[in-house]
Structure 1
Amino acid sequence: MLKVGLTGNIASGKSSVARLWQQLGATVIDADLLARQAVEPGTPALEAITQEWGSRMRDEQGALDRAALREIVFRDPDARERLEQIVHPAVRALRDAEYRDAEERGERIVVADIPLLFEAGLVGEFDVVVLVDAPEAVREERLVRDRGLEREEARRMIAAQMPSELKRARANLVIENRGTRDELEARAREAWQALLERADG
């Protein structure tokens, strides 16, 4: 079973590639979904977050207040690192369970969609790492136009992530997304075909 790590900085188009690959038959493990499951009420990770930053991290229903947490971690690198130390092991355990299930089903390729793959030091977990990338100015514009963020907040979110140049140097395959949706889809299909050939090789 070929393990593929799919990553990309915010507003790069990574999620669009993941959706297309899923339509083409890929088993996609969504790290964001696992991260939400890892901090559901009653989980050790949510308890640890509450101990670290207090009860303001929970909403009225006792669930994680994501906006409050985001406000802390995007402004404070130390807080972001501490959050990753809490959440990443819980997410890894959930991801390992997904791998086992896929292997039992006889899947040829499993794609793990992980925004912070490089930051979390997960490169060694995969046979192939695929990066979806777009210029910083393009990503900033997408955040403002498509997600309704203020430009300053968009810039702060982009600056909080590892620069694309460092990721490009470490990825096995880069899918460029500086043009239209159709162009991205064509490149994503080419990349998927290459992965199928490698899985069968």
Structure 2
Amino acid sequence: MFIIGLTGCISTGKSTVARYLKQLEIPVIDMDLIAREVVEPGTLGLQKLVSEFGEEILMDEGTLNRAALGELIFDNEVARQALNNILHPLIFQTAEAKRENYRKQGKPLIVMDIPLLYETSDLKDFDEVWVIYVPEEIQLQRLMKRDSLNEQEAKARIASQMSIEEKKMIADVVIDNSGSIEATQEQVRQQLKRYIH
């Protein structure tokens, strides 16, 4: 089974490519989705968070109050580390179980959709890493438009991540998403021809 790590930066179009891969019936394991699943009501993840941070991180109906948790860990490295120590093992166990399931089904190719792949993952886990790329000025314009941010706010969000130019330099495959959606999809199809005949 060939494993592609899919990544990018904020507003470079990784989700657009992930959606297209799903349309092509390529199995995509979405780490953001798993991160939400492991803290749903009744999960071990949510129980552990409550015992670490207290009941104030819950909404009235018992779901996780992400804003309250965000405030607790904002500018608090110890709290952020505690959060990561709780969630990362659960996220990776769940992802591994999904990957194993696809292996048993005999899938020849799977995609791991991981926003902070270079920052948080072991590259040995992937046969290849795809970076969804747009030049920084396009990234800035798209982010301002998408999230209704001013230039300063958008630049601060972009600066909080490893730069897209750095990721482009170390990628195995670069999908340039600065043109039309059709142009991006065509690049994806061309790459997939290498594994799917």
Q: TM-score range by the shorter chain?
A: 0.7 to 0.9
Work out the CA distance in 2 between the residues paired with 1:110 and 1:132: 17
Work out the CA distance in 2 between the residues paired with 1:74 and 1:152: 19
Q: Which residue of 1 aligns with 2:140?
A: 140
Cα displacement (A) at 1:180: 2.1
C-alpha distance after superposition, 1:147-193 (max 9, x if no partner): 33454443332222112233223321111112222222222222222
C-alpha distance after superposition, 1:27-57 (max 9, x if no partner): 1111111110111123333234334444332
1:19 partnered with 2:19:
yes
Percent of residue pairs bearing the same amino acid type: 38
Work out the CA distance in 1 between the residues paired with 2:60 and 2:151: 30
1:114 partnered with 2:122:
no
Greater mean deviation of Cα atoms: 27-36 or 182-191: 182-191
For structure 1, the 5+ residue unaligned runs are none
Q: Which residue of 2 aligns with 1:7?
A: 7
TM-score normalised to structure 1 length: 0.84
Root-mean-square deviation (CA, aligned residues, Å) is 2.4
Greater mean deviation of Cα atoms: 94-103 or 143-152: 143-152
Cα displacement (A) at 1:80: 4.6
Greater mean deviation of Cα atoms: 76-85 or 52-61: 76-85
For structure 2, the 5+ residue unaligned runs are none
Judged with a 3 Å threshold, the aligned counterparts in structure 2 of structure 1 residues 83 and 196 are, in CA distance, closer, same or farther, namely farther
Work out the CA distance in 2 between the residues paired with 1:149 and 1:20: 27
Q: Which residue of 2 aligns with 1:184?
A: 184
Cα displacement (A) at 1:123: 1.5
Work out the CA distance in 1 between the residues paired with 2:136 and 2:73: 21
Cα displacement (A) at 1:93: 0.6
Judged with a 3 Å threshold, the aligned counterparts in structure 2 of structure 1 residues 19 and 65 are, in CA distance, closer, same or farther, namely same
What is the SS of the residue equivalent to 2:119? coil
What is the aligned length? 197
Q: Which residue of 1 aligns with 2:93?
A: 93
Question: Contact 1:175/1:191 (CA < 8 Å) preserved in 2?
Answer: no
Structure 2 counterparts to residues 32-181 of structure 1, below 5 A? 32-71=32-71, 80-181=80-181
Work out the CA distance in 1 between the residues paired with 2:11 and 2:68: 22
Question: Contact 1:74/1:156 (CA < 8 Å) preserved in 2?
Answer: no
TM-score normalised to structure 2 length: 0.86
Cα displacement (A) at 1:63: 1.3
Cα displacement (A) at 1:71: 5.0
Judged with a 3 Å threshold, the aligned counterparts in structure 2 of structure 1 residues 19 and 72 are, in CA distance, closer, same or farther, namely same
Judged with a 3 Å threshold, the aligned counterparts in structure 2 of structure 1 residues 139 and 109 are, in CA distance, closer, same or farther, namely same
